[in-house]
Amino acid sequence: MADELERPEHRESEPHLPSPTIWPFAFAGAVALILLGLIVSLTITAIGVVLAVVFGFLWIRDVTRDLRAEPEPVEAPAPVVVEEEERLEPERYTRSKFLEASTLGLGAAIGGIVTVPVLGFAVLPAFVNQEYPEVDLGSLDNYREGDWVIATFTSVPEDGPVSRRTAFVRNNGLRNDVPSFTIISNRCAHLGCPTQPQGPPGEPADVETTAMPVTLTPTQPSGFGCPCHGGAYDIEGNRTAGPPVRALDRYEYSIANGSLVLGKPYSVGHVEGQGADATIFRYGEAVDPGVHVDGPEQILYPYVP
């Protein structure tokens, strides 16, 4: 009848995109956790890797759910007779497939461009061999027992003034028949500004060494202070006021041929006692200013290999 509505012909269901899922966002969060862990802690990195594997597996499982489903039984189609004039057109990809592949490819490229430099700057410096050459600070005769001197020296002569450093040196006398020295770095544990002795300085004098002259300035400090942000330290380098997060760094040292030889620096949480009898709570290596090396805050900072 004319007034009857025409019924649309039955069409086979077209392939559809996977249903929305939260696993891509969870996987991206796990990757972000890995990047954060590379900067903060290896433990966080390990947790991020585990989560990335789990969320990635769940994501893949959701995406391939239709592919893994058992096919429904269908009747065999009738054979199609293709006339000679007909040509089979090449397989074409839908617009949605093209946009999906383009989006994934562009996202991967952007992720690589952003991630690789971050990983390089955050991770690579920890594995770069950063050595501190030994520095001859002159004969032991230049350091009287119980007195402080400000030693200014060039650690790498071929680099010139750019490698100029300063340390506060005190001869503690003998301990178990071995000369004992306290050698404190002048680098503030807040932001690295040069600290100064809180006491009157004497006349500087240059002493000859096996490398370059070292300038020794006698002083009588009651402690050390930072002129930048008001950081204050006691005579052993412990923080007493201001924003520093730990004590002043110290230097290893040795005695060679009657001369005091400066070694590599190391960071200190705090010091108990004084002079040769002091107990130093040291960190394995020297870390940057502002980094906690003791207390619960230390877990928020990267491990120094």
Domain co-membership, 280 together with 182: yes
Supply the pLDDT for residue 146.
92
Domain co-membership, 157 together with 52: no
Band (268; pLDDT cuts 50, 70, 90): very high
User: Once rounded to an integer, what is the mean pLDDT over residues 63-67?
Assistant: 69
Task: Check pLDDT > 50 for residue 1.
Answer: no
Instruction: Find the CATH number of the domain harbouring 200.
Output: 2.102.10.10
Q: Which domain holds residue 35?
A: 18-67+118-128
Report the candidate in 115, 130, 45 with the shortest Cα–Cα distance to residue 305: 130
Q: Which tens digit of pLDDT belongs to each residue from 217-250? A: 999 999 999 999 999 999 999 999 999 999 999 9
Supply the pLDDT for residue 2.
47
Q: Which tens digit of pLDDT belongs to each residue from 103-159? A: 788 778 887 787 777 777 766 666 665 677 888 998 999 999 999 999 999 887 777
Number of domains, the chain: 2
Task: Check pLDDT > 60 for residue 9.
Answer: no
> Which pTM was predicted?
0.60
Domain co-membership, 222 together with 289: yes
Does residue 101 form part of some domain? no
Q: How far apart, in whole angstroms, are the C-alpha atoms of residue 197 and residue 201?
A: 8
Domain co-membership, 122 together with 214: no
Domain co-membership, 227 together with 279: yes
Residue 105 burial by Cβ neighbours in a 10 Å radius (0-12, 13-18, 19+):
exposed
Does residue 63 form part of some domain? yes
Does residue 144 form part of some domain? yes
Greater pLDDT, 258 or 99: 258
Proportion of the chain above pLDDT 90, given as a percent:
34
Report the candidate in 164, 166, 170 with the shortest Cα–Cα distance to residue 183: 170
Greater pLDDT, 252 or 111: 252
Supply the pLDDT for residue 302.
63
Domain co-membership, 155 together with 247: yes
Domain co-membership, 123 together with 198: no
Task: Check pLDDT > 90 for residue 168.
Answer: yes
